Amino acid sequence: MRQRQLALSAFLAVLAAAVATTGAVNPDHPLLRNKRALRLNVPCIANGQFYRNPNTDPEKVRNLSECAKYYLCLDGEVYEFKCSVGLLFDIDRQICDFKSKVFNCGTHIQLTTPKPLLDTDEPICGYGEYACADKTCLPSELFCDGQVDCYDGSDEGWCDAENDPNAAPRCDYKNCTLPWCFCSRRPLWGPLSGRPLWGPLSGRPLWGPLSGLSQDAHFGALSRDAHEVPQVISITFDDAVNYENWEIYNQLFTDSRTNPNGCPIHATFYVSHEYTNYQYVQKLWNDGHEIAVHSITHKGPESFWSNNATIEDWFDEFVGQANIINRFGGVRMEDLWGVRVPYLRVGWNRQFIMMREFGFVYDSSMAAPFSNPPIWPYTLDYKMPHKCLGTGQKCPSRPFPGIWELVLNQLQTGEYTCAMMDQCPPLPDDEEVYEMLMHNFKRHYNSNRAPLGLYFHTIWFKVKHNMKGMQRFLDEVMKLPDVWVVNNQELIQWMREPVPNAQLNSFEPWKCSKTVPQEDQACNIPKSCKLRNRAVRGDRYLHTCYECPDMYPWLKNEFGVDL
């Protein structure tokens, strides 16, 4: 299975490269060279996209072999393609995928919305207005606000960061200063950082001409100054926390693995609801790990999160899950800072409107294109500093001041790059796992020291040599005096107030002297509530230190009240 997914993604990468830059397919691409044009009953639809035959017999439209065929028209000639056995063509995502993920066999063409008339030689509309594709003038703020206002839908059809007329502007360094604003490509210290040149405690400059360190403005080139910057390793886990994966956490987070200040290392858990054991969630939180939100349902198809989820859905899924974690896992509401969208499918502006309204502090769902040096986390006050990566991915276009993006830098493994560890090609033994982790660690540690993210689904650890390689890696890097494994909340606390290595032992947010108050402590023996819910088939167990609800908590009923 793994093999085939890799083969598929390699093929898709080639195909994507053929369509890349211009959005149109390059007719000279090797994939097309040995394709013969068809003299079939398939019309030419030359919109630069793959399509299905609109003349297919309506009886056969949902037939699997028809759904696996797709066409491309170039210079008036139609080329036929077919997905590999077992795969169907997804017209929206323009890729072949497993049957369970394709829902549009009945659609023959990807709908394209006409473009609004924003830049015309002669202005069409008055001040403060823009023109729809049909020349209707509407107030500018209605464009890309998530609701269709033009008759032709053109106000909402072109809303990525490049096309949204209300898009966030490029970073204005003068008006972007810590702790509340940070543009990724700027130094944390020094004249260009907006922070004083003199270190707050050391009494000597941290950076700049008097410090003896380089004054290179580009944070990416700070390698000579990097010894002042701690190397953070951010370990995260996605999905349910339960008995299936509990032992994995126990093996990784042992008493002997500590940060340079002697405190235990911490991870971040993006918790989805179904099958989660909330006593375990509470224990993790008690131990200083961060609990973050990964939706209630984690439902598919993946494109739901980018395309279909309304602002109300975002609230139901994410604020709902925050409520469940708080009610049944005892985690304090003010400690729930982060979200990660299922399948890393960013929800455009709608997701971030929900985050702003609820008060979430950060998102960690966006992957950046592979880069050396890697990218630092940033706030969304201004235009994001990298491309929105992925087919059909919808990054926010508007500004969201003060909300952090803990961007996922990709790992490099052989010729592949991958954001989640379990998307990387499998490695044959613990030696190679260790080498791969070490290679990526060095790419960060020896350049700009952007946090190194290691993003896991626990399934990756079910392979024994993966666990062994990871443990060896951790033990090795934890010997370094300037390497810290902290959770994302702790990382943001440091980014808001970046103190150099020499002062980190007294950095308050990374200390572990606080004791957990009695009322927040997880119980030893939880209640095991056997619960029904019409939305999930069969019964579910909910393990919690608090009272059992009447029903299994779910969307719009997160406290499980029998209605």
Give the footprint of Zn ion on this chain (CB under 5 A).
Answer: 238-239, 342
Nearer to Zn ion, 228 or 239 (CB): 239
CB of 298 to Zn ion, least distance (A): 6
φ/ψ region of 304 (left if φ > 0, alpha if ψ in -120 to 50, else beta) reads: alpha
Q: How far is the CB of 240 from Zn ion (least distance, A)?
A: 9
Q: How far is the CB of 412 from Zn ion (least distance, A)?
A: 23
Residue in 147, 307, 122 with CA at minimum distance from that of residue 138: 147
Tell me the one-letter amino acid at 65: S
Strands 77-82 and 37-38: antiparallel
DSSP letters along 306-362, please?
III--HHHHIIIIIHHHHHHHHHH---GGG--EE--GGG--BHHHHHHHHHHHT--E
Q: How far is the CB of 355 from Zn ion (least distance, A)?
A: 18
Q: Measuring CA to CA, how many Å separate 232 from each of 199, 416, 487?
A: 21, 23, 9
Query: Coil, strand or helix: which one is 279?
Result: helix
Q: Which is nearer to Zn ion, 342 or 500 (CB)?
A: 342
- Within 13 Å and on the Cβ side, how many CA atoms surround 314? 26
- Considering beta carbons, is residue 226 or 420 the nearer one to Zn ion? 420
Q: Which is nearer to Zn ion, 45 or 235 (CB)?
A: 235
Least distance between Zn ion and beta carbon 360 (Å): 17
For the CB of residue 524, give the shortest distance to Zn ion in the complex, in Å. 29
Query: Smaller CB distance to Zn ion: residue 338 or 373?
Result: 338
For 490, residues 6+ apart whose C-beta sits below 8 A from its C-beta are 266, 290, 509, 510
Half-sphere exposure of 201 (CA within 13 A, CB side): 11
Cα–Cα distance, 36 to 458 (Å, whole number) = 46
CB nearer to Zn ion: pick between 353 and 420: 420
Bridge partners (DSSP) listed for residue 137: 131
Contacts of 388 (CB under 8 A, 6+ apart): 160, 161, 346, 366, 394, 395
Residue 106 token pair: 């009945």
User: How far apart (Å, rounded) are the C-alpha atoms in residues 280 and 251?
Assistant: 15
Q: How far is CA 479 from the centre of its chain?
A: 30
Find the shortest distance in angstroms from Cβ 455 to Zn ion: 10
Residue number of the CB atom closest to Zn ion? 238
Question: Beta partners for 139?
Answer: 129
Q: How far apart are CA 479 and CA 378, in angstroms?
A: 29
Supply the minimum distance, in Å, between the C-beta of residue 457 and Zn ion: 7
* Cβ nearer to Zn ion, comparing 420 with 433: 420
Closer CB to Zn ion, 288 or 342, in the complex: 342
Q: How far is the CB of 268 from Zn ion (least distance, A)?
A: 13
3-class DSSP assignment, residue 440: helix
Question: Judged by CB, which is closer to Zn ion: 226, or 309?
Answer: 309
Task: For residue 148, report the phi and psi dihedrals to the nearest 5 degrees.
Answer: -75, 125
Q: Minimal distance in Å, beta carbon 275 to Zn ion?
A: 12
Q: How far apart are CA 77 and CA 70, in angstroms?
A: 14
**Residue 224 burial (C-beta neighbours within 10 Å; 0-12, 13-18, 19+):** exposed
Residue number with CB closer to Zn ion (341 or 491)? 341
Beta carbon nearer to Zn ion, 90 or 422: 422
Cβ pair 293, 351 in contact under 8 A: no
Closest CB to Zn ion among residues 364, 440: 364
Q: Find the helix packing angle between 430-445 and 464-477, rounded to 10°.
A: 40
| HEC-encoded secondary structure of 278-306 | HHHHHHHHHCCCEEEECCCCCCCCCHHHH
Residue 469 CB, nearest approach to Zn ion (Å): 23
CB 510 within 8 A of CB 259: yes
In the complex, minimum distance from the CB of residue 341 to Zn ion, in angstroms, rounded to a whole number: 9
The rounded distance, in Å, linking the Cα atoms of 281 and 271 is: 8
